[in-house]
Amino acid sequence: MMGDMRHTAYELKFREPILTAKVRILKRCGFLFGAELDGKEFVSEAALMPRFGTERFEQAERVAQGETGNFISAPATLFGMDCIRWAFAQNFRNELQIPVATLLRETTNLAVGREAERAVRAGFTSAKMKIGLIPYPDEAGLIGTICHMAPKLRLRLDANLSVHEFSLRCLCEALPKEAIEWIEDPLRAGDDW
C-alpha cells in the first residue's frame, strides 16, 4: 500500500543560463514528490515552466496539497505525482531506472562533440540537447557529430514547442534513431503530429 505522498518545493538558480528557442532560463522551480512502500523510497520531480505552458507555482502547490479542481491545468504537477503512482503500480516487477542526463550546451560541431565525450568519461549514458535554436540541417550535423564522437551516448532532444512541422520531419529523417531516446515537446498543439 502506498504511504502518504510528500512534496517539497525547490528553486535552483543555474550557474549559466539555459538557452531555448524562446527564452533564456535563469532558474528552475518546482516540487520533488516522495513516498515510501515496503522500505523503498520513490522520488519524482515536477519542474514548472509557465512560459512553456505549465502551471505557476501557487497553482502547483494547491494541486500538490490535494486540491482536485485544477488537475487539467497543472500538467507538470500531475506528471510528477503520476510518476510515483506508476512506480507503485509496477509492484516491483522491474527496477525502474531512468539515467540522469547531462545538458549539452555547445552549438558548434567540434565543441559539442568534445562536450559529449566529456559526458561519457564522467559516466553519463544520456544527454539532453535543446533543439530549434538553429536551422535543422545544422542541428542534424551537431547530432551527427555527437553520435560520431560519443557513440555510446543516447540523446534526449528538447524542442520546447519551437520546431515547425516540416523542419521536424526533415530532422527526424536525418537522425540516427538508435541514438535518440526521445524528442520532448516538438510541436505546438494543433500542428500535424
Please name the residue that has the C-alpha cell 520532448: 184
The whole-number pLDDT of residue 91 equals 62
- The span from the CA of 179 to the CA of 113, in Å, is 14
Q: Quick check: pTM over 0.75?
A: no
- 161 in Cβ contact with 187 (< 8 Å): yes
Question: φ, ψ for residue 145 (rounded to 5)?
Answer: -65, -45
> CATH code for 6-89?
3.30.390.10
The whole-number pLDDT of residue 64 equals 86
The whole-number pLDDT of residue 134 equals 87
Confidence of residue 2 (pLDDT cuts 50, 70, 90): very low
Q: Where are the alpha helices (DSSP H) in 37-181?
A: 57-64, 75-89, 109-121, 136-149, 165-174
Q: What is the mean pLDDT of residues 28-46?
A: 86
Q: Which residues make up the CATH 3.20.20.120 domain(s) of the chain? A: 101-184
- 51 in Cβ contact with 185 (< 8 Å): no
What average pLDDT does the chain have? 84
- 99 in Cβ contact with 127 (< 8 Å): no
Distance set, CA 175 to CA 27, 53, 96, 112, 147 (Å):
30, 27, 27, 16, 10
pLDDT tens by residue, 51-108: 777 788 998 898 888 887 666 678 888 888 888 887 777 765 556 566 788 999 888 9
Q: Which residues make up the CATH 3.30.390.10 domain(s) of the chain? A: 6-89
> Which CATH superfamily does the domain covering 101-184 fall into?
Enolase-like C-terminal domain (3.20.20.120)
The whole-number pLDDT of residue 52 equals 74
pLDDT tens by residue, 107-165: 899 999 999 999 999 999 999 998 888 888 999 999 999 999 999 999 999 887 778 88
